[in-house]
A and B are shown apart, each in its own frame.
Chain A
Amino acid sequence: MGTPPERPVPDDAAPDQSAAEIERSTVDSSRGAMEPDAARLARGAAGEAEATFGVERRGMFGPTGSGDTSGYSGLVRPPWTAPAAERPYGSYFDDVVDALAVAYPGTSEAITRVVVDRGELTLHVAREHLIGVMTALRNDESLRFELCSSVSGVDYLGTSQRLHAVYHLTSMTYRRRIRVEVAVTAEDPHVPSVTALYPTADWQEREAYDMFGIVFDGHPALTRILMPDDWDGFPQRKDYPLGGVPVQYKGATIPPPDERRYYK
């Protein structure tokens, strides 16, 4: 329980290893050719790196190195980036953003990106402005987001600011919902706690800490909530090692889920 489960290594791993090496070398050579133009163009300006959510995905079948038999191993899908919305945002979104700009003077630098996707508004907020923005969202008469419905974490492994704390706010007065998102790096996973504004965030921030290791500064008691107190690591991070299942047949092992073959 104390340590994260180690991946069982099958004894006769050598043949697989070599196949994996071959696969990796071919992938690397193609990536080298791709990198200068396409990937950099996709990222755009230097400051735009944080807006990238997904990572580039290669092949169509299974984890890299396991022998892609689909015939689509050269397929490359670019990282997923939510496009910044342009005005008018539509629906009540313009009103919300305008009212926020009035209520919180630093809005222009606080909001790094406004995304309108599938009829939902997402405000990407710099973490030093989170408390200011949330206070305005809760208190301002034309905003009134009284209820913090949900706080959750997402780990976009492979991007520069991979850990996202996502707040879903509900305005019971105006019957509106918005999403506020803060992105931090895994090396400096500090986000100010909103428990003073929304007491309901107490357990939810503890859960996000427990599962993703996002440290909410100012939280009254940031301890694990779902996992045992002495657990190591943050289980819902995408690079958390998953255990394989030993089966009682000649030392065979069912590989961890992320090393099994699956369709991408």
Chain B
Amino acid sequence: MTDSYAPSRETTEGRVYNLSGGDWDQVLAGHTVGEERLVLNMGPQHPSTHGVLRLVLELEGETVTDARVVIGYLHTGIEKNTEYRTWTQGVTFLTRADYLSPFFNETVYCLGVERLLGVEIPERAKLIRILMMEINRLSSHWVWLATGGMELGALTAMTNGFRARERCLDIFELVTGLRMNHAYVRPGGVAQDLPAGYDEKIRDWVKEMRQELHGLDKLLTGQTIWVNRLKDVGWIGVEGCIALGITGPILRAAGLPWDLRKTQPYLGYETFDFEVPTDDRGDSWSRYVVRVAEMWESLKIVEQVLDRLEPGPTMIDDPKIAWPAKLSLGPDGMGNSLEHVQHIMASSMESLIHHFKIVTEGFRVPPGQTYQAIESPRGELGAHVVSDGGTRPYRVHFREPSFINLQGTAAMSIGGMVADVIASVASIDPVMGGCDR
């Protein structure tokens, strides 16, 4: 019994097969490699393309010679929809755009509306927004790690990442009543105050996150496969980033410490003590290093917010803008608080009328336009908000970092191996819900 691919020989231990291979030099001798051009379609339904992203790759053997990105499979018309809802209802749509960073979407839109209104929100509302955004930054980066790890075959990174992210969602649920799609940040402040016992729970969460981050460090940072899959893969430099408009961790991993929380602060970020992590390799590994370092920094900000929180209003003191009801978490979910319902139904007709008017009619925003930008987990998230003076937005445009950053796919993948395309796209961390809106 002989096998031409596995020659065998008899030994005292029995028959030994030799599976060395290595005859490719002979097989290919006399042939020129590189005439095999293959156009490969990846996606939109593909476990490694990070959602409904479609890549059309042109391959020469295993080398990528061209890469095109096709998007739009998750377009839901969020921007158009906001034009037919009140200013407050707009939040409900926009929170679903980039579903992994809902608080950032809500906040940047509300900052735009507040700029158009020319109002200043209470200090406590600002701090709560920062608190929720920084917790959200962790949850978003955990999902990036989990999905990115899964795409590279690191399944434990996936299970650990989603486990840690679930802890973040627990905090979201505690504060807003919902794990995702919160619509918690509203024009004028936030929907409701922090619940009783928030301080202890969030501090416990911070401890837990530090443990998870240490576990992550042990699991991945020194692991040969993880390092080799990421190092020198998907390189892009500072010039390339700026030309392509790429911001966020990718730009910082290329070496430019551009973080809007520091460079053009909003909501009082300039008063917080935190670092902007950077790295100088500009490859997928640097992005991993920068994102993990950012998670540590976000925990520092969360602790500082907890130290600073003073009792006070969480919604602007202007009944013509503020949502009239105090919301509270009842046994059947979030809704108007019992005291408020009693007040408007039993004791004050004027309050009932006011409630009805402001909820159904909404408020008017003076005409004009504004552009507000904040640092989301993926880079500069901008909201171009236009008002015509009515009760509904005239136009809301989101400058989505996922949308812009995906333009870098070709620059990162061409010339590399097809397997590295996965690592590159994972390191961009695109969220298609935000990209396609």
Contact = CB atoms under 8 A, between A and B. Distances in A.
Interface of A: 53-55, 57, 77, 80, 82, 117-120, 122, 146-150, 152-155, 166, 168, 170, 172, 175, 177, 179, 198-200, 202-204, 207, 224-228, 235-236, 242, 257-258, 262-264
B391 A149 contact: no
Interface stretch (B41-49, B237-245, B339-347, B419-427): B237-245
Interface in B384-436: 384, 386, 388-392, 394-395, 397, 399, 403-404, 406-407, 436
5 contacts: A146-B242, A166-B369, A177-B373, A227-B75, A258-B84
Nearest to A179: B371
Given A80-B388, A263-B362, A264-B391, A117 B369 contact: yes
Interface string B111-150: 0000110100000000000000000000000000000000
B80 A54 contact: no
A170 B263 CA distance: 11
A226 B384 contact: no
The 5 closest A-B pairs by CB, nearest first: A200-B245, A257-B84, A80-B367, A150-B399, A152-B397
B72 interface: yes
Given A80-B388, A118-B115, A168 B371 contact: yes
B208 interface: no
Contacts of B79: 236
Contact of B245 (A77, A147, A242): A147
B404 A200 contact: yes
A77 B242 CA distance: 43
B370 A147 contact: no
B242 A150 contact: no
Contacts of B243: 198-200
Interface residues of B, number: 48
A118 B245 contact: no
Contact of A149 (B80, B388, B399, B403): B399
B402 to A, nearest CB: 11
A202 B407 contact: yes
Contacts of A262: 84, 391-392
Contacts of B390: 57, 263-264
A182 to B, nearest CB: 14
B368 A177 contact: no
A152 B245 CA distance: 14
A203 B403 contact: yes
Given A118-B116, A179-B371, A228 B72 contact: yes
B29 to A, nearest CB: 42
Contact of A226 (B72, B367, B392, B399): B72
A147 B244 CA distance: 9
Contacts of A177: 264, 371, 373
Given A168-B371, A263-B391, A200 B244 contact: yes
A225 B384 contact: no
Contacts of B294: none
B258 interface: yes
B324 interface: no
Contacts of B84: 242, 257-258, 262
A81 B247 CA distance: 34
A262 B391 CA distance: 9
A42 B77 CA distance: 35
Given A225-B71, A225-B72, A242-B84, 15 more contacts: A117-B368, A119-B115, A122-B369, A147-B242, A148-B245, A149-B373, A153-B397, A168-B382, A172-B242, A175-B263, A177-B373, A200-B245, A203-B407, A226-B71, A263-B361
A82 B116 CA distance: 13
A150 B384 contact: yes
Given A227-B75, A264-B390, A53 B371 contact: no
A188 to B, nearest CB: 21
B98 interface: no
Contacts of B247: 147
A102 B318 CA distance: 46
A94 B288 CA distance: 42
A79 to B, nearest CB: 9
B75 A226 contact: yes
Contacts of A200: 243-246, 404, 407
Contacts of B362: 263
B245 A198 contact: yes
